[in-house]
A = this chain, B = another copy of it.
Amino acid sequence: MAASKKEEFKTEDIWLADIAKALSHPARIRILKILTEMNVCMCGDIVELLPLSQSTVSQHLKELKRVDLIQGDIDGPKVCYCVNNKTLLKAKKELDKLFNQVCAC
């Protein structure tokens, strides 16, 4: 592209688009579900459940962390990942708001 023009939009729309971007790969949708289903949630556990290499999974986790949808707590050599309920709640609320504005339902 040329320079991105994303920053020229409203903060609210930029934030929602950013959350949507984090959810825009099936691996990341799956990771969120896995983190909820499992109590122990190491990166290695996720790698075993996905058809992706460790480094690729790590990149997807980074993208989810970037928008604060998940967090990783260091526990010795391991990292325990879990979903961030506060951000999920905000995302749910803002998406609801969008759909209520946009959808006749």
Residues on A lying within 8 angstroms of B by beta carbon are 5-6, 8-10, 13-14, 16-18, 20-21, 23-30, 32-33, 35-36, 51-52, 83, 85, 88-89, 91-92, 95-96, 98-99, 101-105
Contact = CB atoms under 8 A, between A and B. Distances in A.
A69 B95 CA distance: 15
A23 B17 contact: yes
Given A51-B8, A95-B95, A13 B26 contact: yes
Given A103-B85, A105-B89, A20 B9 contact: no
Contacts of A92: 95-96, 99, 103, 105
Majority SS at the chain A contact face: helix
